[in-house]
Amino acid sequence: MIEKSANQDILARYEADPIAADRETFGRESDPNTRRGFLRNAGLSTMAMVLGGPIVFANEMPAGMIPALLLGGDEEALAKLGKDKGLTILNDKPWNIETPAHLLDDEVTPAARMFVRNNGVIPAEFDVANWTLTIDGESVERKVSFSLNDLKTKFPHHTYRLVLECGGNGRAEFDPPAQGNQWTVGAVQCAEWTGVRLRDLLEKAGIKKNAVYIGYYGSDTHLSGDPDKVVISRGVPIRKALEDETLVAFAMNGKDIPAAHGHPLRLVIGGWPASVSGKWLKRISVRNKVHDGPKMTGDSYKVPLIPVEPGETVPEDKLRIIESMPVRSVITYPKSGAMLKPGQKLNVRGHAWAGDLHVKEMHVSIDFGTTWTKAILQAPHNRLAWQRWTVELELPATGYYEVWARATDSAGVMQPMVVPGWNPKGYLNNACHRIAVRMKG
């Protein structure tokens, strides 16, 4: 058994500098081309001693990755990040954590139940007193900077509930598999964000007529450890940046934004892939062209212009950037696998959302989509928030059932019953969510 103090010391080293920690703890050197770690004999012995036995495929282990045994289990790692123990860790380098559907039942998602999608390493320290946000770029009249105090005291505050959903939510259902974190349905949340409108800040900088896009820059660290390498820098067209609900937020659910979600300042843009809502915000650049930062080029957050054959390679000029997310819904109660007594009615509820649009109707089926029952659908709390729906069902006999949920947006577009068109990165799967229910005999 590893001594807890020794374990914590190793974790602290990895948090500070994962590549250096490999070298210091295990004598492992990394190959920058493959991101693999190579152990010399002394390193192999050290690792075996720490873990209580050899790692069979040690030289296939990515550089800078903490052996899972040292993490103390998922519950300890989740607790350290302030997360509910029921969440699922998909990746720890960087942190990517999914929320099971039944833990998304709150109308306002609490911090402990919010999914985490990171591309780099969460900043280790936050100099809040000296934190500044800079607005610059080719398409502003003047470069301006604001302190946190400026944002909190010199501009009107606005609060909105906004759906943030990973573009890869649902990726696990694609066949053939798509690269990336294998999200099921839980890479979505609807928290309540408070801050200032980005539009108010851009007006202080003076928006030129040739403004096309904005791009953000945060203070997270690249997985390579290179402090000069930008982790991710995405953005949106200027029309989306100027919407009322596009915020530079300093509070979430009435409190300071948690570290894992962008403390102390985050760009929040509802209805579009959550990757456009930059965390640990330090700079926004107003561009005279489509922003070209990391994760804006190549095939990142893009889908084919036309349907493609599963497994097909799609050239970049045949891809489009994802903007408004498609209509979708999730069943949050009951939990899949629920057991009912004979004659017991089944109360079902969940949320539905539709990118820049709103949800017009909500239906559920217990016979694999042969017939549908209309659910009671609430209006959104504000534009770009999700909508609560509820329905009471009667199961006609004992046995196994599946409850399927299907939303229809304000343009009349319905969720598909099966996984929609395949794409290389596994984006935008909005197929009907389904859960299992049994009635005892």
pLDDT for residue 4: 36
165 and 293 belong to one structural domain: yes
Domain end call among 288, 303, 321: 321
Whether 118 is covered by a domain: the verdict is: no
pLDDT for residue 231: 96
What's the CATH number where 141 sits? 3.90.420.10
Whether 169 is covered by a domain: the verdict is: yes
198 and 144 belong to one structural domain: yes
How many helices, marked H, and strands, marked E, lie in the chain?
7, 26
Report how far residue 159's alpha carbon sits from residue 147's, in angstroms, rounded to the nearest whole number.
20
Domain end call among 72, 95, 115: 72
What's the rounded mean pLDDT across residues 167-176?
96
222 and 311 belong to one structural domain: yes
pLDDT reading at 52 higher than 90: no
Asked if 329 and 405 count as a contact pair (C-beta separation under 8 A), the reply is yes
Residue 337's region, left for phi above 0, alpha for psi from -120 to 50, else beta, is: left
CA 312 distance to own-chain centroid: 26
What's the CATH number where 383 sits? 2.60.40.650
What's the rounded mean pLDDT across residues 157-181?
96
pLDDT reading at 57 higher than 60: no
pLDDT for residue 24: 72
What's the rounded mean pLDDT across residues 269-290?
98
10 and 39 belong to one structural domain: yes
347 and 314 belong to one structural domain: no
- For the ranges 57-61, 196-200, 308-312, the lowest mean pLDDT is seen at 57-61
Whether 90 is covered by a domain: the verdict is: no
pLDDT for residue 35: 43
pLDDT for residue 3: 38
pLDDT band at 438 (very low <50, low <70, confident <90, very high): very high
132 and 235 belong to one structural domain: yes
pLDDT band at 21 (very low <50, low <70, confident <90, very high): confident
Whether 86 is covered by a domain: the verdict is: no
Tokens representing residue 370 in the block: 């042969």
Domain end call among 282, 297, 321: 321
| Helical ranges in 52-197 per DSSP H | 74-80, 148-153
382 and 403 belong to one structural domain: yes
Domain that holds residue 209: 128-321
Report how far residue 117's alpha carbon sits from residue 94's, in angstroms, rounded to the nearest whole number.
8
pLDDT band at 296 (very low <50, low <70, confident <90, very high): very high
Whether 80 is covered by a domain: the verdict is: no
247 and 386 belong to one structural domain: no
Digit-coded pLDDT (tens) for 190-244: 999 999 999 999 999 999 999 999 999 999 999 999 999 999 999 999 999 999 9
Among 360, 317, 327, 305, smallest CA distance to 429 is for 327
Q: Please provide the DSSP assignment of 65-93 as one string.
A: PPPGGGGT-HHHHHHHTT--TTSEEEEET
What's the rounded mean pLDDT across residues 33-43?
52
Asked if 296 and 232 count as a contact pair (C-beta separation under 8 A), the reply is no
162 and 225 belong to one structural domain: yes
What's the rounded mean pLDDT across residues 4-16?
52
Whether 315 is covered by a domain: the verdict is: yes
Q: How much is the pTM? A: 0.83
Whether 120 is covered by a domain: the verdict is: no
pLDDT for residue 23: 72
314 and 335 belong to one structural domain: no
pLDDT for residue 37: 53
Whether 110 is covered by a domain: the verdict is: no
132 and 273 belong to one structural domain: yes
pLDDT for residue 6: 43
pLDDT for residue 338: 95
Amino acid symbol at 433:
H
What's the rounded mean pLDDT across residues 256-276?
97
Count of domains observed in the chain:
3
**Residue-averaged pLDDT of the chain:** 90
274 and 370 belong to one structural domain: no
Digit-coded pLDDT (tens) for 86-132: 999 999 889 999 999 999 999 999 999 999 999 999 998 999 999 99
